[in-house]
C-alpha cells in the first residue's frame, strides 16, 4: 500500500476526508480492521478486536452524515482502549487472569465521551497486569512486540495502545499513566503520548492501581491528534471524587499559538539518571531546535527528584495493596474452588502474576504496623518536597524538558529477572505523576542500536527517542503548544521513518 493508504493517515487527515464526503466512516474502519488482520500476528497489540461492533458504529456515523446530522467531533475515527478502561459489553481484563472473563457492565466516563463524539471503539489493547510494568511483558494474556523491532518491548504498561498506533492499526488510543505508562511506551514506539494533570480527565471506569497517581491519557501519531482526543475526554466528572471542576480550553486551538518566547528549564538531575549516549545526543539536538524556535533554554535543578523513583515504589505499591484487596473471589472476577473462605482467598489470589504479587507485598509491608512511619509516611513527605521543587521551578520557567526515557526500547526478556533495572525505565517519568503535573512525550529522533543478533551478521536498528515536556498544573495548553512547535520541525524526518517501518512490518513474513 502507498503512503496515502487510509491506515497510514493521521486522525486529523482522516476526519477531513470523512467530513468532505471523500471517504466513509465504514471505509476507514474497514481499512484499519484489515490492517489489524495483516500485522497483528506480528505485533500482538490487541486482547480483543471488536470488529462487528466497530463496523456497526461506523455505519451509524455514515447515516448521521448522510442525513445532515453532526456525527461528533471524532465522527468515524477508530479508537483503541487500554484493557483497564471499561467499555460496556466488552471484556475488561487488566491483562490479568483475575479478570480474564469479566465483562464491563458500563462505559468509563472517557469511553462514554468518545462514543458521544462519534468515535468508533474497535478494540481493547494489551497491557502489563493491572498496569504494573514497563514493558507489557507482565501481561498474563499475551505478548506485545515493538513494531520497530519485534525482538524488543513496546514499553509499558500501555504498550498495546502505543504499539497499535505505531503499527498503523489504529490512529488514536487511550492508555493510563501511573508512573509513565503513556509516555514511556509512546517514546519506545515513536508516537506521541500525554499524561494530563491529575484531575483533568475522569478516572471513573478505570481499574485502579494507585489512585493518587493514575491518570488516563491519549496516544496518537502526533500532537495535533493528541489535542483532538483531549478535547473530548477532558472535563469535570461528578462520579470521580478526584476530578477538578475547572474550565477546559479547546486544545486544538492552542496549536495556532506561537511557542516563541517560552522559557524552558532543563533539570540537570535528569541527565545523570543512566541516560544513554544516543538518547542524550537526540535530546541535545532537540534543545537546539527549540532554541531556533525562539524558546529560551536554561539549566535548572530539581534536587529532590533523585529520590522520586524510591518514593514512587513505596507509594504506588502501598496504594496497589489497598486497591487490589477487592480481588478476593467473592464479588467479581476469578473465584478458585475451596473448602473454606480463607482457602478461597488464598487460592484465588495465587492467580496474580509475580510482579503484581511483588508490589502487593511491598505495599502491605510499607503500610504495616511499625513500618508505616518509616516508609509510607516518609515517602509522602518526600513527595511534598518534590512538588515544592517543581513549584519553585515553574516560578521561573513555563516548561521543563528532559528525555522521556533513559534508553531506547530494550530486548524482550532483558530485564524481566532484574526488577530494579526494569523500574529504572520510568526514572524520568515518575516525577510528573508524584507532582500531578501534565507531561508530554513527543518523538525527537532515533538512536542506532545493535539488533541483538550474533557475530558479523548483527545489524543496527533505528529506534525512536522521546522528548518529555512537563508543565504547570492544568497548563496542558503550554505543554501542547511547545510540543506542537517542536514536532512541526522534526515531523518530516520522523514520519518518513514511521512510514518506512509500517511498510516493512506489513511485508514481514
CATH of the domain at 428: 3.90.1300.10
Q: Where are the beta strands (DSSP E) in 412-482?
A: 439-450, 460-471
139 vs 132: CA distance, rounded Å: 9
Known catalytic residue at 195: no
294 vs 152: CA distance, rounded Å: 37
> Is residue 317 assigned to a domain?
no
Of residues 255, 257, 190, 181, the one with CA closest to residue 225: 255
Known catalytic residue at 37: no
Of residues 79, 18, 73, 16, the one with CA closest to residue 46: 79
Q: pLDDT tens per residue, the chain (509 residues)?
A: 456 699 999 999 999 999 999 999 999 999 999 999 999 999 999 999 999 999 999 999 999 999 999 999 999 999 999 999 999 999 999 999 999 999 999 999 999 999 999 999 999 999 999 999 999 999 999 999 999 999 999 999 999 999 999 999 999 999 999 999 999 999 999 999 999 999 999 999 999 999 999 999 999 999 999 999 999 999 999 999 999 999 999 999 989 999 999 999 999 999 987 999 999 999 999 999 999 999 999 999 999 999 999 999 999 999 999 999 999 888 888 998 888 988 988 899 999 999 999 999 999 999 998 889 999 999 999 999 999 999 999 999 999 999 999 999 999 999 999 999 999 999 999 999 999 999 999 999 999 998 765 444 567 889 999 999 999 999 999 999 999 999 999 999 999 999 999 999 976 44
> Is residue 374 assigned to a domain?
no
The arrangement of strands across the sheet holding 263-267 comes to: 46-49, 120-125, 78-82, 172-176, 216-220, 192-195, 439-450, 460-471, 399-403, 263-267, 296-300
> Is residue 343 assigned to a domain?
no
> Is residue 237 assigned to a domain?
yes
- Measuring CA to CA, how many Å separate 294 from each of 297, 375, 493? 9, 44, 21
214 vs 206: CA distance, rounded Å: 9
> Is residue 368 assigned to a domain?
no
What is the reported pTM?
Answer: 0.96
Helix (H) or strand (E) holding 392: helix 378-393
163 vs 146: CA distance, rounded Å: 6
Residue in 24, 82, 195, 402 annotated catalytic: 82
> Is residue 339 assigned to a domain?
no
Q: What are phi and psi of 155, to 5 degrees?
A: 90, 175
> Is residue 358 assigned to a domain?
no
pLDDT at 332: 80
> Is residue 364 assigned to a domain?
no
Grid coordinates of 481 = 503548544
Q: How many domains does the chain have?
A: 1
Q: What is the extent of the structural domain holding 241? A: 6-251+262-306+380-507
Burial class (CB in 10 A: 0-12, 13-18, 19+), 23: middle
Residue in 94, 157, 176, 441 annotated catalytic: 157
Burial class (CB in 10 A: 0-12, 13-18, 19+), 276: middle
- Measuring CA to CA, how many Å separate 310 from each of 304, 327, 426, 427? 11, 27, 11, 9
Known catalytic residue at 161: no
Residue in 94, 134, 181, 402 annotated catalytic: 181
Amino acid at each position: 500500500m502507498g503512503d496515502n493508504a487510509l491506515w497510514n493517515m493521521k486522525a486529523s487527515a482522516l476526519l477531513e476526508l470523512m467530513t468532505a464526503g471523500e471517504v466513509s466512516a465504514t471505509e476507514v474502519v474497514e481499512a484499519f480492521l484489515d490492517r489489524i488482520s495483516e500485522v497483528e500476528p506480528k505485533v500482538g497489540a490487541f486482547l480483543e478486536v471488536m470488529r462487528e461492533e466497530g463496523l456497526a458504529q461506523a455505519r451509524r456515523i455514515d447515516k448521521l452524515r448522510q442525513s445532515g446530522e453532526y456525527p461528533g467531533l471524532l465522527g468515524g475515527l477508530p479508537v483503541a482502549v487500554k484493557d483497564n478502561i471499561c467499555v460496556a459489553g466488552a471484556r475488561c481484563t487488566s491483562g490479568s487472569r483475575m479478570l480474564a472473563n469479566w465483562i464491563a457492565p458500563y462505559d468509563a466516563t472517557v469511553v462514554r465521551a468518545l462514543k458521544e463524539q462519534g468515535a468508533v471503539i474497535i478494540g481493547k489493547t494489551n497491557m502489563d497486569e493491572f498496569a504494573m510494568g514497563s514493558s507489557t511483558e507482565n501481561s498474563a494474556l499475551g505478548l506485545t512486540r515493538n513494531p520497530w523491532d519485534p525482538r524488543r518491548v513496546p514499553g509499558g504498561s500501555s504498550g498495546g495502545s502505543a504499539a497499535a498506533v505505531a503499527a498503523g492499526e489504529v490512529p488514536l488510543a487511550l492508555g493510563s499513566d501511573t508512573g509513565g505508562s503513556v509516555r514511556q511506551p509512546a517514546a519506545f514506539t515513536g508516537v506521541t503520548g500525554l499524561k494530563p494533570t491529575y484531575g483533568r480527565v475522569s478516572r471513573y471506569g478505570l481499574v485502579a492501581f494507585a489512585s493518587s497517581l493514575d491518570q488516563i491519557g491519549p496516544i496518537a501519531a502526533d500532537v495535533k491528534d493528541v489535542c483532538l482526543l483531549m478535547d473530548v475526554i477532558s472535563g469535570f466528572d461528578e462520579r470521580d471524587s478526584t476530578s477538578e471542576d475547572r474550565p477546559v480550553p479547546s486544545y486544538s486551538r492552542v496549536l495556532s499559538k506561537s511557542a516563541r518566547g517560552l522559557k524552558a528549564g532543563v533539570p540537570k538531575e535528569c541527565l545523570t539518571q543512566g541516560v544513554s549516549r544516543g538518547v542524550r545526543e537526540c535530546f541535545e539536538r532537540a534543545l537546539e531546535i527549540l532554541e531556533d524556535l525562539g524558546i529560551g533554554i536554561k539549566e535548572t535543578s530539581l534536587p529532590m527528584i533523585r529520590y522520586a523513583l524510591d518514593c514512587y515504589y513505596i507509594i504506588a505499591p502501598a496504594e496497589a495493596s489497598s486497591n487490589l484487596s477487592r480481588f478476593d473471589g467473592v464479588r467479581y472476577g476469578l473465584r478458585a474452588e475451596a473448602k473454606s473462605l480463607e482457602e478461597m482467598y488464598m487460592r484465588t489470589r495465587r492467580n496474580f502474576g509475580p510482579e503484581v504479587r511483588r508490589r502487593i507485598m511491598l505495599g502491605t509491608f510499607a503500610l504495616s504496623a511499625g513500618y508505616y512511619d518509616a516508609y509510607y509516611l516518609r515517602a509522602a513527605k518526600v513527595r511534598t518536597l518534590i512538588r515544592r521543587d517543581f513549584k519553585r521551578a515553574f516560578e521561573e520557567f513555563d516548561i521543563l524538558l528532559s528525555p522521556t526515557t533513559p534508553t531506547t526500547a530494550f530486548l524482550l526478556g532483558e530485564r524481566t529477572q532484574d526488577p530494579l533495572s526494569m523500574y529504572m525505565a520510568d526514572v524520568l517519568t515518575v516525577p510528573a505523576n508524584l507532582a500531578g503535573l501534565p507531561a508530554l512525550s513527543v518523538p525527537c529522533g532515533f538512536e542506532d542500536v545493535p539488533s541483538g543478533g550474533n557475530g558479523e551478521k548483527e545489524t543496527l536498528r533505528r529506534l525512536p527517542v522521546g522528548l518529555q515536556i512537563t508543565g504547570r498544573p492544568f497548563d496542558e495548553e503550554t505543554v501542547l503548544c511547545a510540543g506542537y512547535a517542536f514536532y512541526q520541525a522534526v515531523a518530516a524526518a520522523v514520519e518518513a521513518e514511521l512510514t518506512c517501518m509500517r511498510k516493512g512490518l506489513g511485508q514481514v513474513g
